[in-house]
Amino acid sequence: MGKFLANHLQATSRRGGGTRKKKEKASGVRKEETQCKKFEDLKQKLKCLVKAAKGTKPEKRHLVNAKLRLCSDCAGMGADLVALRLLGLSRRVKPVCWSEIDSSKISLYKAVAKACGIKLEGTHKPQSVFDRNHEDSPASDIYIAGYPCPAFSSLGHGRGIMDEAGRGLVGLSALQYVCHHRPSLCILENVTGVLHKKNSPYRRILEKVFQGLNYDLHMKVLNTQDYGIPQSRRRLYMVAIREDQKVKGFKWPEKRNLSVNALKQFLDRGTSGTEILDLSKHTRAKGVSEADLWEKACVLDVGSSAKFQCGRTGRTPCLTKARLQQRPIGFYVPRLKRRLLISEALRLQGYPDQLLQPLLDATDQSESKVGAALGDGMSVNVLSAVLATALASVGVNAKNKPWMEVVSAKDVRREANRQSLSCVATCAENGCPAKQVRANFVDGDSHGP
């Protein structure tokens, strides 16, 4: 057992308490011992796989004009598919493998794939990464994963690899697939808690595996609000490019200073309500008055405890699963005297408006299920920006630049319009009627870019 884990268990066993607490503690220690054993087993498996991989040459493919084989772990509601669709690469993408255990998210992923014109037929059925035969799974060129965050989140218990539900070990288990098939590029996303000192054993293994497999590894915390959408959402992104597939160095996408007026363009200003809440707890931020909150564009987290209720104009707080699945939604728009709409949450995560109805249809019109998946997932604007630069490193150039030139409110309107009608130019060249083209994104028409 590793020194870090042994010390952790020893410290846990020394804590005092009454009879009931002692029993609970003993049970907790046993569970932690189980998780420790699983962690050590995975650690040894990965060590052996990396050692074995060093003696073999991975498949080298010229990706400039090739089909792009995609593997998505913890696939969620398909942010990767939407990003690839908006980058103009949907006709080149071939999903070969994906994992997801939540039945609602599986339905949402399939609905998004259909809307994006990306076929899932012939892919391995979605399943837990713990049950997957990684060696026998199909090889891929692009590997994208948004591993479960509760184990590392500061808003949860933050148990890391000790998480009793096993969520802290999902990423390590999934890395076995990377060891066997060595995709050209990998993009991993998680909360910034992964960087905390207590999670260093987990992070070190990730780093050692990619370095041992000869990947150029990059890590950075990115915020959704820096890439065209006014949502304060900080997430850790890890990008690994296989050295022998690189045609040029990887660079993180450049930040943009988004106008404070941009938020208005993401809200349905024609829809107002009559709900009036006490905003006094939201004025703790310097320079923010209660009048500002009522008069300017802002979205407040009213579902949280008073400790986290701090208002800010021009930006939304992080749109979390807990708030988006609440009924009513735990976010409030003071100027419109109503709660945030699910359609607005969709936009603030970078999804085009056309996807709303297919997503609701896939969940029997459950806004709560759609909201939960949105809060769990990646921001499409950030993922598409990272994906574009990562793909360029292996010789694949995106046709479009979604959200990459958005700075002002006017840019937001133009971008939303471009995404809505992004099929028109391509289909017009192919002789498709313009009226038919407008529905192509939803219908998954193969003429789309």
Residues with catalytic roles = 149
Closest to 195 (Cα-Cα) out of 222, 224, 177: 222
DSSP string for residues in 217-275: EEEEEEEGGGTTS-B--EEEEEEEEEGGG-SS---PPPP----TTGGGGGS-TT-----
Q: How many residues does the chain have?
A: 449
Q: In this structure, what DSSP letter does residue 361 have?
A: H
As separate numbers, helices (DSSP H) first and strands (DSSP E) second, the chain gives: 16, 9
Question: What does DSSP say about strands 300-301 and 331-333: parallel, antiparallel, or unpaired?
Answer: antiparallel
Tokens of 306: 């008073």
Closest to 352 (Cα-Cα) out of 318, 380, 388, 389: 380
What is the C-alpha to C-alpha distance for residues 61 and 59, in angstroms, rounded to an integer? 6
Question: What does DSSP say about strands 68-73 and 215-223: parallel, antiparallel, or unpaired?
Answer: unpaired
What is the C-alpha to C-alpha distance for residues 328 and 358, in angstroms, rounded to an integer? 22
Q: Are 118 and 146 in contact (CB under 8 A)?
A: no
Q: What are phi and psi of 316, to 5 degrees?
A: -100, 155
